[in-house]
């Protein structure tokens, strides 16, 4: 069966993006490959094998457009309230913590962050289907 191994996003400022993902999610540079015209940076943490791949196109200065197709990346945490408070203290501007209910049962407790290039990341409490 297929296994999800990474997601890729294009970023303008490598250092700013690496710093954001480390501060927000504890992701660190696992590999970095420079090529003619672009650099690939793979970020991960010790909790899983899934990586975020940052693609930096050399010489690009204009922000990328996300169009109407991109939604968000989702990560789960064992204490979403703690991580929301940590994000606030770090100045990462999280959205308010929200809860979704279905059939009077908690489906999801979450908030969103935006990285330096405007990509949205949903931070979910590990619960039910979001473990």
Q: Alpha-carbon distance 131 to 75, whole Å?
A: 9
Q: Rounded to the nearest 5°, which phi and psi values hold at 28?
A: -120, 160
What tokens were used for 97? 């913590």
To the query of whether residue 99 is one of the catalytic residues in this protein, the response is no
Assign 29 to helix, strand or coil.
Answer: strand
Q: Is the dihedral of CA 34, 39, 40, 46 positive or negative?
A: positive
Q: Alpha-carbon distance 129 to 25, whole Å?
A: 20
Please name the helix (run of DSSP H) or strand (run of DSSP E) that holds residue 75, with its range, or none. Answer: strand 73-77
The catalytic residue among 14, 22, 53, 122 is 122
Q: Where in the sequence numbering do the catalytic residues fall? A: 122
């Amino acid at each position: 069966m297929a296994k999800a191994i990474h997601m890729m996003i294009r970023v303008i400022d490598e250092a700013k993006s690496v710093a954001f993902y480390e501060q927000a999610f504890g992701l660190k540079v696992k590999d970095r490959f420079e090529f003619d015209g672009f650099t690939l940076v793979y970020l991960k943490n010790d909790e899983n094998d899934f990586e975020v791949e940052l693609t930096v196109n050399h010489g690009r200065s204009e922000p990328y457009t996300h169009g109407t197709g991109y939604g968000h990346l989702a990560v789960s945490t064992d204490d979403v309230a703690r991580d929301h408070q940590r994000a606030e203290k770090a100045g990462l501007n999280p959205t308010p913590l929200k809860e979704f209910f279905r059939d009077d049962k908690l489906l999801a407790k979450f908030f969103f962050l935006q990285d330096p290039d405007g990509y949205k990341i949903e931070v979910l409490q590990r619960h039910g289907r979001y473990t």
